[in-house]
């Protein structure tokens, strides 16, 4: 350690920006800083010794080499106990305990605003007692980043400037919460970090010391730290099939009560959540069918956003296993072509909600049996584009604005099954209310199939066959 301290002192003396010419000057400055109860890392910072191994080692050899007594048990009045190897270790352990597989992280650090006031107080003290100007003091946040980075490196995690995973480190210190109050009272400025730093920069030494002590007064408590991690979402896309009725696309809850027992999002999303260990997830489909409508054919495009996932690496095979498991267990919801997709790819799926055409097959009952002439008339009409005027259906008026929307049917075909039951196939643009087209919705959809057939009609079953 002695060689580490010697090397740090030698580097400081050789720096063209150094204010020190001899080791004795450094020792005198260190002694003055030590008397303020500053911690070893704040002493190094205000001596303007650059980052290096000396910041990583224990305090005793440093104090011995600089001729200082042991550090006070009191919390450092400058950094409020933030610059501490145990704190850095605690932050790293908190991150690793969350089981993220990220090998690179960024650090977001929030310190009490009183840190900036106390930093200025110590700058003034150094200028007055060591006869040096300390304008290039190593920043407290940068120092903590350096310490945490060393601890994370022990877990094979690198700290970088930008990546998709950020450790948020926030410190609070109630004891010094009013340190900034004199600045707020003087200028009626906002009590924000930016405003406080700006005011401190503009404030003269004399003006500052008229309101705040130099060196900074002692404290009896250490800053409290909270650590959380946030990671960019990942997206799993594919197509889903719904082979049974009474399954909603997402949980269908009214006044705290589930209307359907199952949902597509839960059947597919829960195993994906278990795989990625995400906090939560959202499912977005390229449109949606009602709970009592099956989704057949090649399925409906969808994606699941995994929010704050802990695992994002080597997912492909496990995601394929989810698809296989749904198939082999005869799940009422199946998935096709499940895969991790890029965030920008989700726009394609969202656009499909409004831009794609949809193919439907409906079992329709008419109050009167239709003649062959009427069937031929409807089928001839269905060979051409039909423009509907659809008002917001009665069944959704409680949650959607009462608007009138033009919608197009691109194809319509009807065939008799037996009695008064008919199979109707429809190709329509996205956003068409098919049930309302069949029965007319009390005249709110014009024309309707019931109107074209001159007979009241109702829809018994509806399937989506192609999206």
Catalytic residues: 290
404-418 and 421-429 strand pairing: antiparallel
357-366 and 457-466 strand pairing: antiparallel
Using only C-alpha atoms, the chain has a radius of gyration, in whole angstroms, of: 35
What b/e string do you get for 143-182 counting C-beta neighbours within 10 Å, with b at 16 or more? bbbbbbbbbbeeeebebeeeeebbbebebebeebeebbeb
Closest CA to 167 of 252, 85, 225, 254: 225
Q: DSSP code of 176?
A: G
What b/e string do you get for 434-465 counting C-beta neighbours within 10 Å, with b at 16 or more? bbbbbbbbeebbeebbbbbbebebebeebbbb
CA 53 to chain CA centroid, nearest Å: 35
Rounded to whole angstroms, the Cα distance separating 286 from 351 reads 7
Cα atoms in the Cβ-side hemisphere of radius 13 Å centred on 130: 30
Rounded to whole angstroms, the Cα distance separating 446 from 406 reads 10
Rounded to whole angstroms, the Cα distance separating 261 from 311 reads 29
Closest CA to 112 of 36, 228, 219, 230: 219
CA distance readout (Å), 187 to 190, 201, 231:
9, 14, 39
């Amino acid at each position: 350690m002695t060689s580490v301290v010697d090397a740090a002192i030698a580097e400081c003396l050789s720096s063209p920006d150094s204010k020190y010419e001899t080791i004795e000057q450094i020792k005198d400055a260190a002694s003055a800083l030590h008397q303020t109860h500053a911690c070893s890392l704040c002493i190094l910072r205000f001596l303007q010794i650059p980052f290096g191994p000396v910041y990583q080692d224990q305090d005793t050899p440093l104090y011995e080499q600089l001729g200082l007594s042991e550090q006070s048990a009191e919390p450092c009045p400058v950094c409020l106990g933030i610059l501490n190897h145990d704190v850095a270790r605690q932050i790293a352990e908190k991150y690793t305990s969350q089981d993220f597989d990220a090998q690179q992280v960024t650090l977001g650090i929030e310190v009490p605003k009183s840190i900036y006031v106390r930093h200025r107080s110590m700058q003034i003290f150094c200028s007055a007692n060591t006869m040096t100007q300390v304008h290039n003091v190593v920043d407290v946040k940068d120092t903590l980043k350096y310490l945490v980075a060393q601890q994370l490196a022990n877990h094979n995690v690198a700290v970088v400037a930008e990546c998709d995973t950020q450790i948020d480190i926030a410190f609070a210190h109630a004891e010094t919460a009013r340190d900034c109050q004199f600045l707020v009272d003087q200028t009626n400025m906002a009590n924000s970090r930016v405003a406080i730093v700006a005011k401190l920069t503009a404030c003269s030494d004399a003006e500052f010391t008229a309101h705040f002590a130099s060196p900074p007064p002692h404290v009896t408590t250490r800053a409290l730290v909270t650590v959380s991690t946030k990671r960019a979402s990942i997206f799993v896309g594919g197509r889903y099939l719904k082979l049974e009725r009474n399954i909603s696309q997402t949980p269908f809850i009214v006044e705290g009560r589930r209307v359907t027992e199952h949902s597509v999002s839960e059947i597919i999303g829960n195993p994906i959540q278990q795989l990625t260990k995400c906090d939560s997830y959202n499912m977005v489909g390229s449109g949606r069918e009602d709970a009592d409508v099956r989704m057949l054919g090649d399925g409906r495009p969808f994606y699941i956003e995994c929010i704050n996932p802990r695992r994002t690496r080597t997912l492909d095979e496990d995601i394929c296993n989810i698809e296989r498991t749904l198939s082999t267990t005869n799940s009422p919801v199946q998935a096709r072509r499940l895969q991790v997709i890029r965030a920008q790819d989700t726009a394609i799926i969202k656009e499909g909600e409004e831009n794609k055409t949809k193919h439907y097959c409906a079992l329709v009952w008419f109050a009167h049996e239709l003649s062959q002439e009427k069937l031929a008339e409807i089928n001839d009409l269905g060979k051409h584009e039909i423009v509907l005027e659809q008002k917001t259906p009665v069944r959704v008026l409680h949650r959607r604005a009462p608007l009138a929307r033009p919608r197009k049917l691109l194809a319509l075909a009807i065939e008799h099954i037996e009695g008064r039951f008919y199979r109707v196939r429809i190709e329509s643009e996205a956003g068409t209310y098919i049930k309302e087209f069949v029965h007319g919705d009390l005249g709110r959809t014009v024309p309707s199939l019931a109107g074209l057939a001159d007979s009241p009609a109702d829809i018994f079953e509806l399937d989506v066959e192609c999206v």
